[in-house]
Structure 1
Amino acid sequence: MLSLGIYIIGSLLVIIIIHYWRNPKSNGKLPPGSMGWPLIGETIPFFAPNTSFDISPFVKERMQRYGPIFRTSLVGYPIIVSTDPDFNYFIFQQEGQLFQSWYPHTFEEIFGKQNVGSLHGFMYKYLKNMVLNLFGPESLKNMLHEVEKTTNNNLKRWSRQKSVEMKEATTKMIFDITGKKLISYDSENSTENVCENFATFIKGLISFPLCFPGTAYHKCLQGRKKIMKMLKRMLEERKSQPRKEQSDFFDYVLEELQSKDTILTEAIALDLMFVLLFASFETTSLAITLAIKFLHEHPKALKELTEEHEAIIRRRENASYGLTWKEYKSMKFTFQLINETIRLANIAPLIFRKALKDINFKGIVSDAGYTIPAGWAVMVCPPAVHLNPVKYEDPLQFNPWRWEGIELNGASRNFMAFGGGMRFCIGADFAKVQMAVFLHCFVTKYKWEIIKGGDIVRTPGLQFPNGYHIKIFEKYY
């Protein structure tokens, strides 16, 4: 009899917990949706892999069921998902007023509790200005020659190999450029295999957050620990043996740390270096690899791109001269191709914010009016915007000509590959420079054939599970 009573009480408690989990309190009407199971929420279907460039099945199914804005729960957090371009734009414009940058606890564990994405107000602006010293327009003009030289050297070496896995090869090439600028990293002479540590880190970055040995998430954290240990040791070495002149961004950071009225701390500085190294390691290499895949599959685009870059060389007094900033800015079709590649790539598939107060958004996306409770997370979903058939005709088709005559100077309601608002990606122009220079060197001097791979998987981030292996040949005129 006693056991029956315990069973009944236990069952009632479970029912009550599930009821309150699925029907959270709010001062207004919550957007429609499901909160899934307590704590787990809808995390498992959210991370389910898919092999299409299309909007993830998780988001697409809920858009069809609930509309452009719905509620869910992921890794223990109540979240409002927005696929509406106008509301997304509103969210970005209200940074620091109604919303602020936010990421789940698991992201903070990975990138550091004081990483630039988790900081706000004056400290964020301070770090942003620091990074602009590295990625601002004047710095990029000075880096153009070095990016071209490094690209040519790598392409020459790859052409001697039987095959090249493009994602891995371009990752290392880009990391050699930015690693040198950030920490004077030299992969040929360094005892630290930073690329290997970051490769381990990347594999678990967007994975189910189970932290025990053997899981991708645990390996990700171990990769972070190794990289942070290296950065801390490097910082101590720079302190004990200061350089007479700044030779990299780390020297600049150290100078800021040692200035009299600094607000920078070592913890923030090290997390900043980690995030910058990560950004240089992963994102642009994915975009370049995807661009090569698209060019192979669309000969017309390859032909027009090649003609544009060969024309740049023909207009020079001497064909052996390197790229100039004026030539870079003249690459109209190249930028169309870059825009289309990153639209389909959706390398940043999720952008998080947090509501600072109860927010009613009646009149923005719904006549009925919904409320986002203070403290709830909001997840902006760029793929739903970039693949919207109302804005982009045949959105899953690669069509760089759709960008003809359109000039982008930042984010817009319908294009947010680099975020938006005051947190628009600082490295966006640097990424475009790297892609444009690589394409210039590649299509003017080389041709290629596919060996194997090229399949994509989203989990929800973009991956090439079988790589993308090609054989590169020099062109002979």
Structure 2
Amino acid sequence: MAWLLVMYLFSFLIVAFAHWVYRWRNPKCKGLLPPGSMGFPIIGESIQFFTSHALRGIPPFIQQRMTRYGSLFRTSIVGQNVIVSTDPEINHFIFQQEGKLVHCWYTESAAQITGPQGFTVHHGDSHKYLRNLALNLVGPENLKETLLFEMDQTARQHLDQWTGLSKLDIKQATEIMLFKLAASKVLSYDEKKAMELRNYYKAFMEGFISFPLYVSGTSFYASMQGRKNAIKLIKETLNERRSSCNKKKNDFLDYILSEVDKEETFLTEKIGVDVICMLIFAAYETTSSAITLALKFLNQHPHVLKQLQEEHEHIIASREDKESSITWKEYRSMKFTHMVINETVRLANIAPGIFRKVVQDFQIKGYTIPKGWMFMICPSSVHLSAEKYDDPLSFNPSRWNGQELHSSSKQFMAFGGGQRLCAGADFAKLAMAIMLHYLVTKYKWKVLDEGNIVRKPGLAFLDGFKVQIYTSMNQTSEEEKD
């Protein structure tokens, strides 16, 4: 009799498990879901999504599903139901629906790393307010009035230091340079304090898109530990600033505190700390990657490098003082430089996806997109499409000739789109332009080892990118030694 009971229980468990698997693979929907596969229960298709692949081309995970299902498909990644779009028209529509059908969103892991009161949880007027806070630091006006000169001086200082090294990891070096600049402008940190803070940020990128498993040994756990320590240090700085009312630094932290103290504001110190934490992260990670890839592409295309050098030599020749800093007028005149920047970030596709959360069911192209699902816009599928770009995998800055160089479009979304266009886009472009200006005029570089650059799915420089930096006058003698 006991064995029959065991058999009934075993049969029940098998049926229950089969039903669970069926429901997982066939989610409920008030309409027709886009085609696709939900993968295995819980883990979905995360393994395939995170499988490392080469820098060049559309990620295999996306390409294979585009071929099988078309430009709109469903999947499950890190425990979340996701609709993926590779269609420029749909992408544009989604960007226009911010605050209506969708809200800006990240994966659960990214949301926790950026903070419970960070940019991602605020929408509408509150997001607009926080965005304006950020633009006070990295918007065009402050770039023009303050940061241009400071970034120029910072670039010169670090390039001078790098010329004394026989081998330099340019990805890491530019990352440190930008981090120190951001920590100085935001928190008035000196180099020692900035490097202490940077140590806590190192694990952020690995856990940004991951299973939110707070277990020792996981990338998410390492990221959250880093966040915990970073937040602690930022709070200590804030408290020290509060206790010394007469010792203002005129930095971004002072600005945040002045906003917190206003009578009619929703901004709190907790929100301010999360904003600062995310702002510093955004200031260095993606920009250092873009600078590194620009050097890689320019090194592989000497004719492009020559054209870039001619533009910057013309700028210097037009100056009365040949050693003066870059002016805002000069920066805005760098037409070919901005073509190089656009082409670099088009091919780089540093962000594997742009995420939105669906806040109400809606129909598109005959399919129902359910409330509560995540919507992922895939920039690489558009940026590398042969239908949108001639010879899309080639590095050809001249393809941007005559086109708008400072805005997003259906075909170009390297900095996002719609209301959530990246607030730091102008900061990143300026940093790239300044570095390129000096690297093609006062300095030169020689690539020693490109290392192993992969996507997993975010851009990763597994072995760094090793170069040697020379002053222009010393390049000839160095080449003769070789």
Matched residue, 1:329: 332
TM-score computed with the length of structure 2 as normaliser: 0.95
Matched residue, 1:150: 154
Matched residue, 2:135: 132
Which of 52, 62, 65 is the equivalent residue of 1:59?
62
- Contact kept, 8 Å, 2:290 with 2:344, in 1: the verdict is yes
Which whole-Å CA distance do the structure 2 matches of 1:266 and 1:169 have between them? 32
- Contact kept, 8 Å, 1:253 with 1:269, in 2: the verdict is yes
AA matched with 2:120: G
- Contact kept, 8 Å, 1:201 with 1:223, in 2: the verdict is yes
- Contact kept, 8 Å, 2:188 with 2:249, in 1: the verdict is no
Structure 1 segment 68-87 matched on structure 2, within 5 A: 68-87=71-90
Q: Classify 1:324/1:340 alpha carbon distance in 2 versus 1 (closer, same or farther; 3 Å).
A: same
Structure 1 segment 190-229 matched on structure 2, within 5 A: 190=193, 193-229=196-232
Which whole-Å CA distance do the structure 1 matches of 2:170 and 2:459 have between them? 15
Is 1:172 equivalent to 2:176 in the alignment? yes
Matched residue, 2:52: 49
Is 1:33 equivalent to 2:58 in the alignment? no
- Contact kept, 8 Å, 1:410 with 1:424, in 2: the verdict is no
TM-score computed with the length of structure 1 as normaliser: 0.96
- Contact kept, 8 Å, 1:338 with 1:432, in 2: the verdict is yes
**Deviations 1:339-378, CA, capped at 9 Å, x for gaps:** 000001111121111122110113xxxxxx1110112111
Is 1:408 equivalent to 2:405 in the alignment? yes
1:455 CA drift (Å) = 2.5
Structure 1 segment 29-428 matched on structure 2, within 5 A: 29-142=32-145, 143-187=147-191, 189-190=192-193, 193-243=196-246, 245=248, 247-362=250-365, 369-428=366-425
Alignment RMSD, CA only?
1.4
**Deviations 1:205-229, CA, capped at 9 Å, x for gaps:** 3344443212222111111111000
Matched residue, 2:449: 452
Which whole-Å CA distance do the structure 2 matches of 1:16 and 1:118 have between them? 35
Which of 429, 438, 443 is the equivalent residue of 2:440?
443
Which whole-Å CA distance do the structure 1 matches of 2:214 and 2:19 have between them? 29
- Contact kept, 8 Å, 1:201 with 1:222, in 2: the verdict is no
Which is worse superposed, 62-71 or 33-42?
33-42
AA matched with 2:16: L
Q: Classify 1:379/1:243 alpha carbon distance in 2 versus 1 (closer, same or farther; 3 Å).
A: farther
- Contact kept, 8 Å, 1:207 with 1:459, in 2: the verdict is no
1:296 CA drift (Å) = 0.8
1:191 CA drift (Å) = 7.9
AA matched with 2:389: Y
- Contact kept, 8 Å, 2:345 with 2:414, in 1: the verdict is yes
Which whole-Å CA distance do the structure 1 matches of 2:411 and 2:246 have between them? 46
1:300 CA drift (Å) = 0.7
**Deviations 1:431-461, CA, capped at 9 Å, x for gaps:** 1000001100111011222222343110110
Percent of aligned pairs with the same amino acid? 49
Q: Classify 1:357/1:190 alpha carbon distance in 2 versus 1 (closer, same or farther; 3 Å).
A: closer
Which whole-Å CA distance do the structure 2 matches of 1:205 and 1:356 have between them? 23
**Deviations 1:36-75, CA, capped at 9 Å, x for gaps:** 1221111111111112321111111100000000011112
SS of residue paired to 2:259: helix
Matched residue, 1:365: none
1:281 CA drift (Å) = 2.4
AA matched with 1:177: L
**Deviations 1:161-220, CA, capped at 9 Å, x for gaps:** 111100110011111222211111211x43861122211323333344443212222111
- Contact kept, 8 Å, 2:102 with 2:356, in 1: the verdict is yes
SS of residue paired to 1:110: helix
Matched residue, 2:477: none
Structure 1 segment 458-473 matched on structure 2, within 5 A: 458-473=455-470
Runs of 4+ in 1 over 6 A off after TM superposition: none
- Contact kept, 8 Å, 2:83 with 2:373, in 1: the verdict is yes
Which is worse superposed, 449-458 or 376-385?
449-458
SS of residue paired to 1:239: helix
Q: Classify 1:409/1:162 alpha carbon distance in 2 versus 1 (closer, same or farther; 3 Å).
A: closer
- Contact kept, 8 Å, 1:210 with 1:217, in 2: the verdict is yes
Q: Classify 1:166/1:243 alpha carbon distance in 2 versus 1 (closer, same or farther; 3 Å).
A: farther
AA matched with 1:77: Q
- Contact kept, 8 Å, 1:198 with 1:281, in 2: the verdict is no
Matched residue, 1:9: 12
Which whole-Å CA distance do the structure 2 matches of 1:243 and 1:136 have between them? 28
SS of residue paired to 2:53: coil
SS of residue paired to 2:290: helix
- Contact kept, 8 Å, 2:109 with 2:208, in 1: the verdict is no
1:472 CA drift (Å) = 1.1
Runs of 5+ consecutive residues of structure 1 not aligned to the other structure: 363-368
Which whole-Å CA distance do the structure 1 matches of 2:83 and 2:108 have between them? 17
**Deviations 1:235-282, CA, capped at 9 Å, x for gaps:** 111111124655100000011111222210222111100110100120
1:413 CA drift (Å) = 0.3
How many positions carry a matched residue from both structures?
Answer: 470
Runs of 5+ consecutive residues of structure 2 not aligned to the other structure: 475-482
Which whole-Å CA distance do the structure 2 matches of 1:205 and 1:438 have between them? 27
